Amino acid sequence: MSFYVQVALPLPLDRKFLYSIFPKDPIEVRIGSRVLVPFGKRTLTGVIVGIRKGPPPKNVKIKEVFEVLDHSPLFSKKFLTFTRQLSEYHHSSWGELLLGSSPPSFAPKSRTVLSLVEESRDRISDAEFSGSEKELLVYLQRKNYTIGYLKRQIGEAGFAGIVSRLEKRNFIQVIREVKKSVQRIKKTESATPAQLEMDFLQDELKDLSTKVAAELKRGDFSPCLFYGPAKSREAIYFHLIRNALAAGKSVLFLVPEISLMERLVERLQKKLEDKAVVFHSQLSERERESAWEEISAEKARVVIGPRSALLLPMRNIGLILMDSEHDESYYQTENPVFDARKGAWIRAKVDSSVLVFGSEFPSVELYYRAEKDRYLFPLPQEKRLQQISIVDSRRQGEAISFPVQKKITESLKKKRPVFVFLNRRGYASYILCSRCSHIFRCKKCQIPLSYHKREQTLVCHYCNVSLPLLKYCPECGNDVIKKKGIGIEVLQEEMKRVFPYAKIERFDSDVIESDTDRKKVFSRLENSRIDILIGTQLLIRQQEIPLTSLAIVFYPEMLLTLPDFRANRKAFQSLDSIFGCLHNSKDSELVIETALPEYFKSFQSDKGSYKGFFEQDIQFRQLMGYPPFSCLIEILLASDSLRTLARECRRLRSGLQIPAQKGEILGPSLAPLLKIRGKHRAQVILKTRKLDPLIQENVKEALSQVRIPKKVFVYE
C-alpha cells in the first residue's frame, strides 16, 4: 500500500512538504517519526506531521522518502500540537522548532559519493574516454569519493556533463551515504544515599501552595503568578514539585540563565529523591545525548533548563515552573523566533498542566492580566530598610562626583566592599574626530565602534569585529580624536586615580569569560581581597554574590534611550535587582548618579516598590495604547541589498490588510539598528487592539510573498 506523508523540514519556510512512502510494514509510518527525504540536491531530516492514503495529487511530481529513522514516534501528538501552535503564533518554521528539540548529533549526516559500477571494471580498458573522464575513472578505481572532493581535483568546468555521460554508459553511479548517530553505551550510575531536607513553609506560604497543589490534583490547565522574594518563591516551588511527583507527574523548571542552574540543582538534590536532569547548550555532546535520552524515555521526572528546554519532548508534564519571568533571555531573537513565556502558556494548556510564573519584578503585561483574571499570588514582602540617595551628575565636574567619592571613602574606612554598576562595556561608547566630527563605525553594522583602551582596539558589540585604533582620522587626517560616552574601563581608571590604595576589579563579559573566573572573583570578595568591584548588568544577575552595604549606579537612564515601550520597566527593574546585592539594614545604601534626578525620585520615595512603579507605568501604557492594552506585531526584514530590502518591504506592506477599526500599520521604516552583520534591516509594525486570528492569517499570507529573511516578534 502506498502512503503520502506530510513532512516538516528544518527550513525557514512556513509550510509542509508531501512525499510518497512505500513501507514494508505500514506500522512504520507514524506521525511524530523522523524521516530522511530528498530536497533539491540535498538530503534532509524531517518529521512526519500528517499521513494521507489513496491516489496521488494530479499533475504533481512527488518524491519518495529515503528512510524512516524511528521505529516508534520520537514526538508525541501533544508535543506536535504545542510546537505547531507556537510556530503559528510567531510565524516561525515548524520544522526548525521540531529539529531544534533534539541534540544536533542525533540528526543523520548524509553525503553524496560517486562509485564505480563493479561490472564495468573489465570494460574500462576497451572503451574510449575523454581526458577528464579517464581522470575521474582513475580516482574511482581506487575507492568512492564525494562529488565535492572530485570537483576540487578535476575542476568544476563541465563536471556535471562528465558524470552524466559516464552514468548513461553505466560506468559510474551516484550513491547517497547516510551516517547515523552512534548510540553510546551509557554508564549506569549508582545513586548515592543522601540525607533529604524537609520543607518548612510559613503558614501564609503553605496556604498559597496548598491552593496551587489542589489544581495539580485536578489535572487541568491553571496559571498563577507568584510575586515576591526569591527565597519565598523557591520554597513554594520545591513544595509544588514534591506534590507533582507524588501525583505521578513530570516537572519542567525553566530559568533564564545557564549560570543559575548549578546552585538550583544542588538545592533540588537535597530536597528530592528524584534526580533532576539539566539540559542546555553548554553541555558536551555526550552529556546532551544522555540527558535527552533520559527525558525521551521518561526516566527523568524533573528537568531544569533555559528557554531551549521548553522544546524537549517531555511527556506527562503536570507542572511547568518559570522563574524570573521578567527576564528578556526568555525571548529567542534568532530563528526560529519564539517567546518561551508564551510557549510555556501554550504547552501548559496542551498538556493540561499547572503553570507557575515567579518574579520579584514581573512584566507589566503578566501582572496586569494576573491581577485582572485572579491568578496573582502576592508573597509576604520583607520591608526594605536600605537608604536611597540621588546625585545630580549635571552639577558635578568629575566623572566620579564628590558626594560619591565621600561615600566610597567612608565605606573603605569601615573595611566594607563597594559595588559600582555601569551598564556600558569598554572605555568609550564611540570616538570621533574633533575637526570633522567623523564617527568611527562598524562597516558590517553601521553602528559606532566602542573603544577598548587595554587592547587599544575598536570593537563592535554586535558582530564582534575588532579593529586596531587608528591614529589619524580617515576622513580629514586630523590626529586629535575625542572619546565620548563613559564606559566601564574609564570608571575603573578613575577609581584607581581617586583611590590609589584600593584593590579594584572589573566584572563584565570582557574579563569574566568562564564560570571559573566568576568563582575566583567572588572568592576574593569573601576573603576581603577586593575593595571596589565595578560591574555591568552581568554582575547584577549573579545570585550568589556576597552582600555589601554600599552600591552605586551610574547613569541608569541609558536604558531609557532604547526604542522600546518596555524601556521604563527595564530601567527600574535593573535598579530593583541591585537591592539583592545589599544587606537589608539602615546602614546599607544605594546611590544613583544620574542626569535625570527628577525621573528617579519616585523610585527613591517608594524604595523601589513594584506596586508604585506598576501604577505609573500602566497609566502610561493605557494612554499610549501599548500592551497589555494592544498587541504589537513587529516584522523585521533583512537583506544584503537596500534595493532588494525596499522592494520586499513594499511587497509586504501591500499584502497587509488591516481594517482601520482593528488597528494600524506603521512603516515600513529603517530599523533602529539599520545594519547588523552586513545586513540592511527594515521593520513594519502592526498595532492592533487584540491578536485577532484573521489578522494572524493575513500576516501569514503577506509573509509568504516575501523572498528575504524575516523575523516576527509578537508583544501582547
pLDDT in tens, 156-183: 677 777 778 777 777 777 776 666 554 5
Radius of gyration of the chain (CA): 30
Q: What is the CATH number of the domain that holds 94?
A: 3.40.1440.60
* Mean local confidence (pLDDT), 353-375: 91
Domain hosting 151: range is: 110-179
Give the integer Cα–Cα distance in Å for 385 and 368.
27
What gap in Å lies between CA 312 and CA 322, rounded to an integer? 15
User: Do 527 and 578 fall within a single domain?
Assistant: yes
Is 90 exceeded by the pLDDT of residue 30? no
Residues 6 or more apart whose CB falls under 8 angstroms from that of 126 comprise none
Region 560-589: mean pLDDT is 81
Asked whether residue 560 is assigned to any structural domain, the reply reads yes
- Confidence band, pLDDT 50/70/90 cuts, at residue 196: very low
Cell numbers for 244, please give them.
507533582
Tell me the backbone φ, ψ of residue 479, rounded to 5 degrees: -105, 10
Q: Which of 46-55, 134-143, 495-504 has the lowest mean pLDDT?
A: 134-143
Same domain, 373 and 472: no
Residue 111 class from Cβ within 10 Å (0-12 exposed, 13-18 middle, 19+ buried)?
middle
> What distance in Å separates the CA atoms of residue 430 and residue 596, rounded to the nearest whole number?
22
What percent helix, strand, coil does the chain show, rounded to 5? Answer: 35, 25, 40
Do 414 and 462 lie in one domain? The reply is no
Q: What is the DSSP string of 128-178?
A: ---HHHHHHHHHHHH--EEHHHHHHHH-STTHHHHHHHHHHTTSEEEEEEE
CATH of the domain at 511: 3.40.50.300
The domain boundary residue, chosen from 354, 378, 402: 378
Instruction: Based on the fold, state whether residues 283 and 320 are members of the same structural domain.
Output: yes
Confidence of residue 242 (pLDDT cuts 50, 70, 90): confident
CA nearest to 7, candidates 61, 60, 59, 66:
66
Q: What is the pLDDT of residue 355?
A: 93
Residue 610 lies in a domain: no
* Same domain flag for 413 and 558: yes
**Ranges 125-139, 218-232, 474-488: which has the least confidence:** 474-488
DSSP, residue by residue, 437-467: --B-B-TTT-SBPEEETTTTEEE-TTT--EE
> What mean pLDDT comes out for the span 484-498?
78
- pLDDT tens-digit readout, 438-488: 677 777 766 667 777 666 777 775 666 777 777 777 777 777 566 656 777
Q: 211 and 80 in one domain? A: no
pTM of the model: 0.81
**% of the chain at pLDDT higher than 70:** 86
pLDDT reported for residue 167: 78
**Ordered strands of the 3-8 beta sheet:** 17-21, 3-8, 42-53, 34-39, 67-68
pLDDT tens string 513-538: 677 777 788 888 888 888 888 888 77
192 pLDDT higher than 90: no
Of 127-131, 488-492, 596-600, which gets the smallest average pLDDT? 127-131
The identity of residue 182, as a single letter, is V
- The answer to whether position 464 is within a domain reads yes
Same domain, 441 and 569: no
**What does the pLDDT look like over 32-72, one tens digit per residue?**
888 888 887 777 888 888 887 777 667 778 888 888 887 78
Residue type, 130: S
- Residues 395, 516, single domain; the answer is yes
Torsion, Cα of 295, 301, 307, 312 (10° steps): 30
The DSSP secondary structure of 63-118, one letter per residue, reads PBP-EE--SS-SS-HHHHHHHHHHHHHHT--HHHHHHTTS-GGGSPEEEEEEEE-G
Q: What does the pLDDT read at residue 461?
A: 59
Of the residues 461, 482, 503, the one at which a domain ends: 482
318 and 230 housed in the same domain: yes
Query: Predicted confidence band at 193 (pLDDT cuts at 50, 70, 90)?
Result: very low
Q: Which bin fits 352, alpha (ψ -120 to 50), beta or left (φ > 0)?
A: left
DSSP state, residue 248: T
Q: How many CB atoms lie within 10 A of CB 448?
A: 20
397 and 503 inside one domain: yes
pLDDT at residue 570 is higher than 90: no
The count of domains in the chain is 6
Question: What average pLDDT does the segment 351-374 reach?
Answer: 91
Other C-beta atoms lying within 10 Å of the C-beta of residue 378: 15
User: In this structure, are 412 and 335 located in the same domain?
Assistant: no
pLDDT at 3 over 50: yes
Evaluate whether residue 579 is within a structural domain.
yes
- For residues 532 and 419, membership in a common domain is answered with yes
Query: Lowest-confidence range among 102-106, 300-304, 544-548?
Result: 102-106
> 142-172: buried (b, 16+ CB within 10 Å) or exposed (e) per residue?
eeebebeebeeebeeeeeeebbebbeeeebb
